[in-house]
Structures are given as C-alpha cells and as structure tokens.
Amino acid sequence: MEQQQATMTFKVSDKAAEEILKVAKENNIENPILRVRVVPGGCSGFQYAMGFDENIDDNDHVFEHQGVKVVIDSFSMPYVNGAELDYVVDFMGGGFTIRNPNATGSCGCGSSFSCG
C-alpha cells in the first residue's frame, strides 16, 4: 500500500497580502517573497520570524495569494500547517498576526507559542 503525504496548507488573508505588497512597494521590492519561519525562543518555546527573501530553496513550501509568495522552510512547516497570516488593526495600531491551530499555548505578551 502506498503512503500518501499529508497536504500542507498556509493561508494569507486579503488584508495581509495588501499590506505585504504595500511594504514591498515602499522598499522597492518588485516580486515580494515573504519568508515565514518558526525559530526556537521566547518564553513559550517558539517564535515566528518574517522577512523578505530573494530566494526560494528546494525544500521550501510555497503559497501564493494576490501576487504575494510566502515561503516556509521544511522545519517550520509542521508548526504552521493550517495557519493563516493576517494583518489586524486595533486601538494599539496594526500588525501581522498568525492564527495557528497547532499552537497549544502562548506567553502573556503573545510573542511566542508552544506546540504539542
């Protein structure tokens, strides 16, 4: 019997895509590639790291929405599988957030999370 590989998903909201394109334009980046990573750290065990990249590696998972490419490396992908990148504005200002169904806990300041 042949084993099927699990489908990996990562969503980008319309608002997040608009904001990524806005920031890219302000920084003269023509074809934005946003790299989303999970790195060890923070008081809950893991943190998200995001930034523009110029390359897509062979082991990257690539997701595209409204002209924005989001790449996630193979280490980070299991931690953010099924998550959504959004941009929210509240009374404190605006910022990117990741709604992650895999996170089992987070720290009080909301900058790190735990899985498992």
pLDDT tens, position by position, 95-110 = 888 888 887 666 544 5
Residue 58 in domain: yes
Which tokens go with 26? 């302000």
Residue 3 in domain: no
Residue 4 in domain: no
The CATH number linked to 97 is: 2.60.300.12
Residue 91 in domain: yes
Residue 74 in domain: yes
pLDDT (average), residues 77-104: 87
Give me the residue label for tokens 């923070």.
42
Higher per-residue confidence, 42 vs 8:
8
The 10s digit of each residue's pLDDT in 33-77 is 999 999 887 666 788 899 999 999 999 999 999 989 999 999 999
Residues 25, 8: Cα–Cα separation, whole Å: 29
Residue 97 in domain: yes
Number of domains in the chain: 1
Residue 38 in domain: yes
In angstroms and rounded to an integer, the radius of gyration of the C-alpha atoms of the chain is: 15
What range does the domain containing 57 cover? 10-115
Residue 1 in domain: no
> What is the DSSP code string of the chain?
-PPPPPPP-EEE-HHHHHHHHHHHHHTT-SS-EEEEEEEE-STTSEEEEEEE-S---TT-EEEEETTEEEEE-TTTHHHHTTEEEEEEEETTEEEEEEE-TTEEEE-TTSS-EEE-
Task: Note the pLDDT of residue 17.
Answer: 96
Residues 16, 13: Cα–Cα separation, whole Å: 5
Higher per-residue confidence, 93 vs 89:
89
Which tokens go with 32? 């934005």
